[in-house]
Structure 1
Amino acid sequence: MRLSTCILPVHRWHEGGRERWTRAEELGFHAAYTYDHLSWRVPFRDGPWFGAVPTLTAAAGVTSRLRLGTLVTSPNFRHPVTLAKELLTLDDVSGGRVTLGVGAGGTGFDATALGQEPWTPRERADRFAEFVTLLDQLLTGDATTYRGTYYSALEVRNIPGCVQRPRLPFAVAATGPRGLRLTARYGQAWVTTGDPKVVSAPDATPQASLAAVERQVARLGEACAEEGRDPADLHRIMLVGFTPDPLLDSVDAFVDFAGRHAEAGIDEVVLHWPIPGTRFEADPDVFARIATEAPAQL
């Protein structure tokens, strides 16, 4: 079981931002991720919120071991051609420590920020499929020409390519059949936050949430079978903080949570870095103890 963290980009770099990334490496986390949004939900909507790629580039310069990545990037305001160039550069600056978390995106603040009309669920899924397909081509080839329904590339050069070969890994966030097949086809990892329908229920319980994750893992295995992929080849990541589990109450509570989810097939748990006054509030001392003590118990 790997233990990672997610640091929201809500602090100025020289006013606490840098320290969180260097501290994440000191605590021994496997990876540190950040959200890739223009802004995100109350109470963050009207406060500081910085760009994901510049933040990760700065983090790459002050760390040496920590893997870095997004959880997640979406087509809401990204184009594969420009994103691929930024990712290739970030992979180079970090010495090959980047993972791209990628998802279809939601209907939140990013969805219409560029002036577009909200996409239907079908269009969002169609765009996501093209987005991932083109990104894969751009990051694995020296020159790419592609003409799709939503995205195109004309003789786009990405030389010398990624440090990581054949390209940096994709961690695909998906729960539906199409997204899971896309994960099986292009992903090196799969990402879940649990089942939103289950955890949003008024009577949601940790047991029901765990059972839902087990079902998701089973459906991922079925998608891999359809694509001729060994599911053991896929890393399975859970970004926590959205299920009814009191996992940050103590080290023992976290070890119990992580152990049960490891049995369900999860092999990396990502904890949000504590932010007072939000849903991600947690005792900083307990958080640090989980980072340093829990891995040995798992």
Structure 2
Amino acid sequence: MRISIWPGAGQRYDEILEVARHAEATGWDGVYVADHFMPNAGPGRDPLAPVLECGSLVAAVGAAVPRVRIGSLVYGNTYRHPAVLANMAATVDHVTGGRFTLGVGAGWQVNEHEQYGIELPPVKQRLDRFVEALEVLHGLLRRPGTTLHGEYYDLTDAVCEPKPVQDPLPILIGGGGERRMLGIVARYADVWNTWGHPEVIAHKSAVLDEFCAAQGRDPKQIARTAQALVVVDGPVPDMPMPVIGGSPGQLQETMQRYREIGLDELIVPDGLLGKGADRLRAMDTILGLSAAH
């Protein structure tokens, strides 16, 4: 099981780079960056807290950190035109020498759409648009030219050159909806990602397998990745997002459960790991526990 770090974009660039360089130097497999423009609205969150932009970060980190994979987790389709995004992704893949994973999702965060005047359609329309966007991304990144006259996107003999270094550049789809999103994953994704404890991931992975079978696709063609907030040694907070750990022993046990259900990659957000030297020590502990099996 690969293990990757997810430094929050709501910190200074030098802090993000410190995390990424430490991950590269100590044996982590990847570094991911979220795509948002402000914190999500909610209790205890500063609505004015600064957030760095994902597209610029993945290029900058990828250029500065030479070994690990770099990924977006995930670009929001509502505010990223897929033809523009395809060119961004191909460029980052060249910057990184073929180490980029293009993570995309349908878009969801309400406050950034409201503040910027960007439409956030109902879920069905959002997913319809996302499917068309995936057709655009597959076409531009993997074929010489693309023509698509859809409801949301209209391309005629469109090109994206140079093509990525990787053939193909892996497309990660983030989402866990069991009625439709996992069916989209089954059709278009090289990598799947969602939040969850091991039992949640195991259940949703089985649903994904069913969609793959219905579409005639080998489920082994889709890598499975997941994340949860991590506490290395301390009380586990009551949060809406899944949290694992509490002690090194508990964390190691949970990581083994992820491994047993066939997870290909565990992604660790750095939000509960502290700052500075404390965060780097926590990263070392997590990596050591991961390598113990």
1:260 to 2:257 alignment: yes
1:290 to 2:286 alignment: yes
CA displacement 1:224-262 (0-9 Å, x = unmatched):
101111112211000212655442x33322211111122
Aligned pairs, how many? 277
Q: Partners in 1 of 2:81 and 2:194 — Cα distance?
A: 23
1:217 to 2:205 alignment: yes
1:109 to 2:111 alignment: yes
Residues 10 and 224 from structure 1, CA distance in 2 versus in 1: closer, same or farther, beyond 3 angstroms? same
Pick the aligned partner of 1:97 from 92, 96, 99: 99
Q: Which runs of 5+ in 1 are unaligned?
A: 195-208
**1:140 — aligned with what?**
142
Residues 267 and 144 from structure 1, CA distance in 2 versus in 1: closer, same or farther, beyond 3 angstroms? same
CA displacement 1:42-93 (0-9 Å, x = unmatched):
5363112111111111111111111000111121211011111111100011
> 5 Å matches for 1:181-196?
181-194=183-196
**1:50 — aligned with what?**
52
Question: Aligned AA for 2:289?
Answer: A
Q: What SS is found at the alignment partner of 1:177?
A: coil
Alpha carbons 2:33, 2:73 under 8 Å: kept? yes
Q: CA deviation at 1:283?
A: 5.7
Q: CA deviation at 1:284?
A: 4.7
Alpha carbons 1:35, 1:70 under 8 Å: kept? yes
Q: Partners in 1 of 2:9 and 2:46 — Cα distance?
A: 10
Q: Partners in 1 of 2:24 and 2:125 — Cα distance?
A: 39
Residues 170 and 44 from structure 1, CA distance in 2 versus in 1: closer, same or farther, beyond 3 angstroms? farther
Q: CA deviation at 1:41?
A: 1.6
Q: Partners in 1 of 2:46 and 2:222 — Cα distance?
A: 33
CA displacement 1:201-222 (0-9 Å, x = unmatched):
xxxxxxxx54332221110110
Q: CA deviation at 1:141?
A: 2.1
Question: Aligned AA for 1:24?
Answer: A
CA displacement 1:102-132 (0-9 Å, x = unmatched):
1112142233444244311111111111111
Cα RMSD for the two superposed structures: 2.2
Q: Partners in 1 of 2:16 and 2:34 — Cα distance?
A: 14
227-236 or 80-89: which moved more? 227-236
Q: Partners in 2 of 1:5 and 1:259 — Cα distance?
A: 18
1:235 to 2:237 alignment: no
Alpha carbons 1:177, 1:223 under 8 Å: kept? no
Question: Aligned AA for 2:285?
Answer: R
Q: Partners in 1 of 2:124 and 2:20 — Cα distance?
A: 37
123-132 or 89-98: which moved more? 123-132
Question: Aligned AA for 1:126?
Answer: D
Q: Which runs of 5+ in 2 are unaligned?
A: 230-239
226-235 or 171-180: which moved more? 171-180
Question: Aligned AA for 2:247?
Answer: S
**1:172 — aligned with what?**
173
Q: CA deviation at 1:289?
A: 1.3
Q: Partners in 1 of 2:90 and 2:199 — Cα distance?
A: 38
What is the aligned-residue identity percentage?
30
Alpha carbons 2:198, 2:254 under 8 Å: kept? no
**2:270 — aligned with what?**
273
Normalising to structure 1: TM-score of the pair? 0.85
Question: Aligned AA for 2:291?
Answer: A
**1:7 — aligned with what?**
7
102-111 or 70-79: which moved more? 102-111
